[in-house]
Chain A
Amino acid sequence: MPSFVTYLIHTLFPPTVRFPDILLIDAGLVLGGLGLIGFLTKTHRWGWLWREWLTTVDHKKIAVMYLISAIVMLFRGGIDAEMLRAQLAMPSVHFMPAIQYDEVFTTHGTIMIFFMAMPFIFALFNAVVPLMIGARDVAFPRVNAMSFWLFAFGAILFNISFIIGGSPDAGWTAYPPYTGLAFNPGPGENYYFLSLLIAGMGTTMTGINFLVTTIRMRAPGMTLMKMPMFVWTTMVTSALILFAFPPLTVALAMSLFDRLFGSSFFTLTRGGMPMMYVNLFWLFGHPEVYILVLPLFGVFSEVVATYSKKALFGYPMMVVSVLAIMFLSYGTWVHHFFTMGAGPAVNAFFGLSTMLIAIPTGVKIFNWIFTMWGGRIQMTTAMLYQMAFIPTFVIGGASGVMLAVVPADYQLHNTYFLIAHFHNVIIGGTLFGLLSGMYYWWPKMFGMKLNERQGKVAFWLFFIGFWITFTPQYLLGLKGMTRRLYTYPAGLGWHELNVISTVGAWIMGAGFVALVYNVVWSLLYGERDVTGDPWDGRTLEWSLPSPVPEYNFARIPVVHERDAWWAMKQKGQTMAHALRPEDVHDIEMPKNTPIPFLLGVSFFVLGFGMTFKWWPIAIVGILGVIACLLFSGFDYDDHHHLEADVVRQTEASLGRLQG
C-alpha cells in the first residue's frame, strides 16, 4: 500500500530529521546497534545480561546502570552543547537552521537536567545510601528497579525523537502557548511531555523509596543525628522530590491533554491560562534546582571530612541549614517569572524570600571551610572537585542574588547573564559534586580506584574550561545578548566574548574525553582496592569489602557514634575482628524479577503510540502496564533465603571471618 508507506515516511521522517548530520548519526546508530547485538550473541552474553542486569533488584547494580546511563546522557547533552557553541562562535553563522538550533537547545537542557543529573544523583543514592545506614537493600527493591526502568525508557523515548519524528523545540521549560497544537503541530512536544511523565513517575517512586529507606531502614543505634550527612541530604532531597514532582506531573499532563484531547487548559483560546503553566512549572522548578544540588552538598560533606581527616565541622548546623533550604525552596518560585508582572507586592515578597536562601547556603560553605581548617588535606581528585566547588558555587549564588533583585531581573531575565548564573551553580555545584562523588565512591562500586593523575587532568580541563566558557557569558548578558538566540549580526560587540566562550566549551569537551579515558583505563588497569577502605573513610560503607557482596552486611552493624566506622576503627572494633561463624544467619534477599523491565517496555510502547496518536499501539502499551501491575501485585514469591553457609564462605574468602 504505497499511500500508507508515504504516510509513515512523512510522519516518522519529516524534513527536520533529514539533515545530513542526523542521517550520519542514524547510520552510526544502526551500525553500533548491530555490532552490539553481534557481540552479545557471539560471546553468549544474552542470558547474562538478562539475569544479572535487566532483571536485577540489587541496589548496587541499579546504581551501576544509572551511572552508565548518566554518562551516556552527559555525552549526548555535551554534543548538543558543543553544537550550540559552534553556532554562536561567530556572528551570522548558519551551521544549523533556526529550527534545528531550537531543537538542540531544548534537548540539551532537558537531557542534562532530567536524564543526566537526576540519574547520576540516583546512581549515588543507590550505590551508597543502603551501605551507609547499614541496610541490606532499599526499602522497596522491586519498586527501585521499576524506577530505574521507567527512567531508562523515558530517556530512550526522549532520545529517539531526533531520529524519528522530530525533537521538541520549546526549551526545557516548554512554555505554552508555543507548545500548543496551533503553533507546534509535530510530534516533538508529545515526546517531551510523555517521556518526562514516564521518567517523572520513576523519580517520584525513587523519592518515596529513599524517604522510607532513610527513615525506616537504618541500623540499630543510628539515630537521626548520627546519620552521615549524605543520608540527611538524601532524605531531604527525597522529600523535595515528593512535593515537587506532582505540580510538574500536573502541568505536563494538562499540556498533553491540550495537545491530544482538545482541552484548553493553557491555550490562548477558550479561557486557557498559559501563565498557570508557568506557575506550576516553577512550583516544581525551583525545588528541582535544590533537588539537583542538595545531594551534592551531602557528597561534599563526606568528601571534605574524609580527606581532611576531621569530623564534619558544625554537623547540627549543617542539618538545620539543609532543613531550612528545604522549607525556603518552596517559597521562591516566582523569581523565575518576575517579568510576568504579578505586581510589586508579589515580586517583592519572592525577591526577599529568594535572597533568604543564600543564608543557610552560606552557613554550609563556612562549615566546609572550617572542616578543612587545620586538617591534613589530601589533594585527591574528589577533593579537588570539592575545593573547586566552593568558589564556583559562591559566585553562582551571588549572581543568583543579583537576579533576585527584581528591577535588575527585568534587565537580566532571559539574557546570557541568567545562563551564566545557572551554569555556575549547576556545573559548579551539581556536576562537580557528581564527579567528586564518582571518584570518591568508585572503589566501593567497582573494586578499583580511578587513576588519580588522569582524573586530575580531567578535573583541570573541566575547571578551566568552565570559567573560560561562562565568565564571558555574564558580560554578554550585560551587553544585552538574550538566550535562545540562534544567530546574531556582527557589530553588537558580542563577537570576541562568544569566541572565548566557545573555546572554553572545547576545553570542557576535552575534559569529558579525558574523563572517559580515565574510566576506561582504570577499568582495565586500575589499582585494585583490596582493603575495602582505600581512603581511610569514616562512614559504614567503608567497613565492607569492595565491591560489596550481594547481601551487603553479613551481620547488621550496631551504631553508637556519628562517624560510625571511624569510631569502630578507633576502638579496634572493626567487623573483621568481631564476626564469628555463629554470628552469621540466613539472610532474606529480594528475588530478581523481569516485571520492572517489562513495565518500562510497556510504558515505552504506550508513550510511543501516544506521541504519534497511534491509538492501537498505545492500547497495547496500556494493556502491558496493567498486566505487569496485576502480576506483580499477586506475586508473593518475591524473596529467597541466602543460606548462612554461603554467606560464611563468601566472608571467609574475603578474609573476614574469625577462626
Chain B
Amino acid sequence: MSEAPKAMTAEEAYHNENDKVLRFLEPRFHEEKFPSIQILGYIGSLILTFGAYFLVMNHVLPPVALLSVILILAVFQAALQLGVFMHIREGRGLAWQLIPLYFVFFVALGMVAMSIWIMLFKSGVS
C-alpha cells in the first residue's frame, strides 16, 4: 500500500491555510462574570407579557387600538428575545445569523398574512 497521507487532526484542519473556510465551524465560547443583561432582559420580557395580559383582561382600550398596542408589544418582545437570549450579537460572519433570520421573518409573515387572507372568508362567501 502506498504511503497514506497523514491525516490531520481537527485543530490542524481549522488552522490549515487551505481550509480557512472551516474556521467558522471551530467552537468558540463567550463567558461573562455576571449575566446582568440576561436578568434585565428576563424582567423586561415578563413586563411585556403581563402588560399585554393586563391590557386585554381589563379592556382598557377599544379593540383596534388594543390590537395595535399588543402587536407593538409583541414586536418588542421578539426583538428582546433575539437580542438578549438568542446570541444575535455574538456572530463572527454575518451570513449564518442573517440568512436564517430573514427566512424566519419571511415564513412568519407569510403564515400570518396568508392566515388573514384565508380567514377573511367569514365576511365574504356565505
Contact = CB atoms under 8 A, between A and B. Distances in A.
A641 interface: no
B10 A247 contact: no
Contacts of B19: 220-221
Interface in B90-122: 96, 104, 107, 110-111, 114-115, 117-122
B9 interface: yes
Nearest to A557: B7
Given A283-B111, A330-B111, A220 B118 contact: no
A275 B7 contact: no
Contacts of A216: 25, 27
B2 to A, nearest CB: 7
B10 A556 contact: yes
Interface in B31-80: none
Does more than half of chain B's interface fall in helix, strand or loop, or is it mixed?
A: helix
A578 B7 contact: yes
A283 B117 CA distance: 14
B107 A341 contact: no
Given A220-B25, A558-B13, A573 B4 contact: yes
Contact of B119 (A219, A275, A573, A583): A275
A555 B7 CA distance: 10
Given A220-B22, A275-B119, A331 B4 contact: no
A276 B111 CA distance: 13
B66 to A, nearest CB: 14
Given A283-B111, A573-B5, A346 B117 contact: yes
Nearest to B7: A578
B6 interface: yes
B116 to A, nearest CB: 10
Contact of A573 (B7, B27, B110, B118): B7
A343 interface: yes
Nearest to B104: A243
A331 B8 contact: no
A334 B114 CA distance: 10
Contacts of B14: 220
Contacts of A279: 115, 118-119
B30 to A, nearest CB: 14
Interface string B17-28: 001011001010
B13 A220 contact: yes
A279 B124 CA distance: 17
B110 A330 contact: yes
B4 A571 contact: yes
Contacts of A334: 118
Nearest to A330: B107
A577 B9 contact: no
A218 interface: yes
Most chain B CB within 10 A, of A219, A558, A577, A578, is at A558
A557 B110 CA distance: 41
B96 A215 contact: yes
A577 B6 CA distance: 10
Given A221-B13, A223-B21, A572 B119 contact: no
B106 to A, nearest CB: 9
A573 B110 CA distance: 49
B9 A583 contact: yes
B6 to A, nearest CB: 7
A395 to B, nearest CB: 30
A342 interface: yes
A279 B115 CA distance: 7
B115 A556 contact: no
A330 B106 CA distance: 11
Interface string A366-389: 000000000000000000000000
Nearest to A346: B118
Contact of B111 (A220, A247, A571): A247
Contacts of B115: 279-280, 283
B46 to A, nearest CB: 15
A258 to B, nearest CB: 15
A276 B10 CA distance: 51
A330 B110 CA distance: 9
B13 A331 contact: no
Contacts of A556: 9-10
Contact of A558 (B7, B27, B96): B7
B107 A572 contact: no
A342 B10 contact: no
Interface in A309-357: 330-331, 334, 340-343, 346
Contacts of B25: 216, 218, 220
Nearest to B18: A221
Contact of B6 (A341, A557, A578): A578
B125 A341 contact: yes
Contacts of A330: 107, 110-111
A220 B10 contact: yes
Contact of B121 (A218, A331, A342, A583): A342
A577 B2 CA distance: 12
Contacts of B27: 216
Interface string A518-547: 000000000000000000000000000000
B10 to A, nearest CB: 4
A355 B2 CA distance: 54
Nearest to B96: A215
Most chain A CB within 10 A, of B5, B7, B118, B120, is at B118
B22 A341 contact: no
A266 to B, nearest CB: 13
Interface string A263-295: 000000000010110011001000000000000
A223 B19 CA distance: 10
A342 B1 CA distance: 69
Contacts of B5: 573
A221 B111 contact: no
A572 B9 contact: no
A558 B10 contact: yes
B4 A342 contact: no
Nearest to B16: A220
B42 to A, nearest CB: 12
B94 to A, nearest CB: 15
21 contacts: A216-B25, A216-B27, A218-B25, A220-B8, A220-B19, A220-B22, A220-B25, A221-B19, A223-B21, A243-B104, A279-B119, A331-B114, A346-B118, A346-B121, A555-B7, A555-B9, A558-B7, A558-B9, A558-B10, A572-B2, A573-B4
Interface of A: 215-216, 218-221, 223, 243, 247, 273, 275-276, 279-280, 283, 330-331, 334, 340-343, 346, 555-558, 571-573, 577-578, 583
Closest 4 CB pairs of A and B: A220-B13, A342-B121, A556-B10, A573-B4
